[in-house]
Structure 1
Amino acid sequence: MNPIERTAVELAIRYERLQGRKVTYVGDGWPPGLSGEVREWVHERHPGARSFTCDLVSREPDGGIARLIEVKGRRGHRTSVSILDRQRNAMLGLGSDWWLYVVLDCQTTPVLIAVREPGRLPWQLVAPARELPEGQYRAVGDEGVWHTMPADVFAMGEQVDAPL
């Protein structure tokens, strides 16, 4: 994880903990059992959802899953925010249970914006998915890339306080 991403994830985790929730980072892999638990939770709440990819699994104090969170960090405050096809699929399939946390100005004074239902943002396809032969596995570099602008994130999200 690069320093920008690390700052963003640390700030998102801090915010979740300040809200009384317990957080597990899954960006580098899922701990044993958690993937199955989240899959079951997703299928109960969103039977048609095909993906639940995220960076953080946040739980209420009673242990129940509160939200799945994708975290995006940016060096400044003008750079577009990008997601991949699999993240977009999770976003569209999970509605209000999938959150986008964008941390701007990670190198100076980080600002965390929490966006519930980020599917409402004006996403634009900037790089379509690469065509693959049938049956070939789609790697991250083969996925389509979508982006939105920080001004839209500010307009539809909520700036929250979680000092480092």
Structure 2
Amino acid sequence: MPVTDERGVYERISLEEFQAGLSWATILRKRPAFRAAFGDFVPDTIAAHTEADVERLMTDAGIVRNRQKIEATITNARATIKLREEMGLADLVWSFRPESTPHPQSFAEIPTKSAESVALSKELRRRGFAFVGPTTMYALMEAIGIVDTHLLGSHRRGSTGSWTT
């Protein structure tokens, strides 16, 4: 379903960064622990984290204990707050919505990145975000409803309401 609020988009960016190199099943099983460890992904809470918090999170077996990803989550919270001075995180991310969505007939036809995800990645990096590569940003775009990569004919196709086909 479309995710258009700051906290929701920030949470999805964070989970996508933690998912990089791992299975989604792992991240989804750990989602409640991630929410508990990261203050329900409220950017203001995470932005205040210190090195002591990083060390505490590195001992939390309920989450993925990767220092770079933990630090990126904190960095991205601070960058999210800074974006409030302009358009905000959700509006920025949604501004990269393409004019059309893919129309895959097979799993092999589902893209892993797009011109828009490359541009979004560059823009977020320019604004101080970390761990936001083009493939990760494409996965974000799928997760929040910016693109619909469900197969044509699938019962899930069009379920986000963002696309009619």
With structure 1 as the length reference, what TM-score do the two structures score? 0.26
Which structure features the higher share of helix residues?
Answer: 2
Q: Which has the higher contact order (CA 8 A, sep 6+)?
A: 2
